[in-house]
Each structure stands twice: as structure tokens, then as C-alpha cells.
Amino acid sequence: MKIAIVTGASSGIGQAAARRLASSGFQVLAGVRKAADAAAWERVPSATPLLIDVTLEDSVNAALKKCRSRLEKATEVHLVNNAGIAVAGPVEGVSLDKWKEQFEVNVFGLIRATQAFLPFIRATKGRVVNISSVSGLATSPYLGPYSASKFAVEAISDALRREIAQFGCRVVVVEPGPIDTPIWNKGLSKKDFLLSDLSDELQKVYGHDLATLHKAVEKSARDAVPVGLVADVVEKALLARRPRTRYIVGTRALHAQMAAARFAPDRLLDALVAMEFR
């Protein structure tokens, strides 16, 4: 029995990836936080809901306890670390509580889930698939918290990959560009949300740029590609004999943009970004 645990399977990428894996030979443990979301997974063949909030030690321990006997019997155990949130705003203005919330989910949550399931992954030569972002490769202004969390995911993935290769395990990072999921309705696309955390003074200082960012985010949401493209890549990451260490998911233009961002000098990139905010 091949088991794939997917965190954040209530919607978006996690839901699509979990459904795909359930239809391609895996027994999926679909990680959700709410009973209502669990009920939806009860009806999906080859899937079992698993209540798990990655920010809560007790929740992760309870999830592990619940599925331990299945994991012990499995021939393969894989983990897709997908759960994530996006916090935006100027470095100066986002409250430390919001910075912490961003890291609690995207970084410490990913580590908590990985630590919990890794003994089973190691024992079965399993794979860890970390859903990062193109924001983990290049940073846009006012997306500092989100981008910093995804840069951390990239570094953790590199460390883990080099640590567990010796056991026959693989670590794959998936770096999507804008994908059509509910994440865009959870704050990023709301102008008020971008300003809500800021003092009146900082609203005056950054208001113009945040309005520009808001328009760019709306455009990204409109141009977002279907979630199935990420599900394709997650499936490939678990099934390919030699998966790549990283997969960017998005349009050709996005691939070109990321390649350019890698090699272009900082000052040139700064000037291009500044033009967008003029």
C-alpha cells in the first residue's frame, strides 16, 4: 500500500493534488482542519480525511496517532507539504504577529509535519514534496512575509534533500506561479486587507504602492493557470523514477522571467520593479 499524506487538502492545490493521487494508485490521507471538510473526503475513493492543523503540536500528534498503524504497514509513505497562507504588506508595516502567523503555517508547520512523518518516509524510501512558490525564488516588494516564508521552504528543502538522500528518499520542491485557487480571495486581492494592518502614517507613505500592488495581484488572479497543472507535477514528483529537485509551474513567460531573475544583477531588477510602481 502506497500512502500519500497531503496537508491543506480542503481546497485549491492540496485538494486537486490529493484527488489526483487518490486516482493514481495512492491511498491518500487528506489533511484538513475542519470536520465539514473531512466529511467531503469520506466520499472520495482511496482517500481518508485526516484532521491536522500544522501549527498545533497536539493536532499533528493526534493525526500521527490516528494513522500510525496504517503507516507502519505501508510499503511507501510520502508527504505533500501544501498547507499555506499568504501575508502581504510593507516590511515596515506588517505587525510581528502577522509575520509570525505567516511563518507558523508556511515554515514551522511544514517542519512540524515533516518531523512527524519522516520516520515512516525514511523507512520506506518515500518522498517529500514541498509546495513552495516562485515567490521562493524572487521577491516582490510588499510580498516580503510570504516570500520570506517560501525562501525558507526552499532552504529547508535543500537541507532535507541532502540529509535523507542516503536513505533512498527524495525531496521535490514545486514552485507554482499564479494558480487559480481560493487563496486569491483570502486577503491578497482585497485592497482593504493590504492597508488594514497599517497606521494612518504608513498608509500615507505606502498607499500608492499598495494600490499598484493590488492591481498587479488582481491581474495575477485573472491570469492564474488551472490548478490541475500543479496536480500533474505533484503526481510526477511522486511517480517519476528520477524526479527533478525543482519544478516551476506556470506559463512559458513565467519560466523565462524566473530564469532572468536568477542571473540579472540586483540593480537592474530593482530598476525594473521601480518602473512598475511609478
Ligand X SMILES: NC(=O)c1ccc[n+]([C@@H]2O[C@H](COP(=O)([O-])OP(=O)(O)OC[C@H]3O[C@@H](n4cnc5c(N)ncnc54)[C@H](OP(=O)(O)O)[C@@H]3O)[C@@H](O)[C@H]2O)c1
d(CA 4, CA 231): 13
How many whole angstroms separate alpha carbon 131 and alpha carbon 154?
A: 9
Min CB(264)–ligand X separation in Å: 21
* Residue closer to ligand X (CB basis): 75 or 185: 185
The residue among 157 and 181 lying less far from ligand X, judged by its C-beta, is: 181
Residues 6 or more apart whose CB falls under 8 angstroms from that of 202 comprise: 90, 92, 93
Cβ of residue 177: shortest distance to ligand X, in angstroms? 6
Q: Give the shortest CB-137-to-ligand X separation in angstroms.
A: 11
Q: Which is nearer to ligand X, 49 or 176 (CB)?
A: 176
Query: Which one, 124 or 181, has the nearer CB to ligand X?
Result: 181
Smallest distance, Å, CB 125 to ligand X? 25
Closer by beta carbon to ligand X, 40 or else 202:
40
Q: What is the closest distance, in whole angstroms, from the C-beta atom of residue 92 to ligand X in the complex?
A: 23
Which residues here bind ligand X, judged by CB under 6 A?
7-8, 10-14, 33-34, 53-55, 82-85, 105, 109, 131, 133, 176, 178-179, 181-183, 186, 224
146 is catalytic: yes
Q: What length is written for the chain?
A: 278
Active site residues: 146
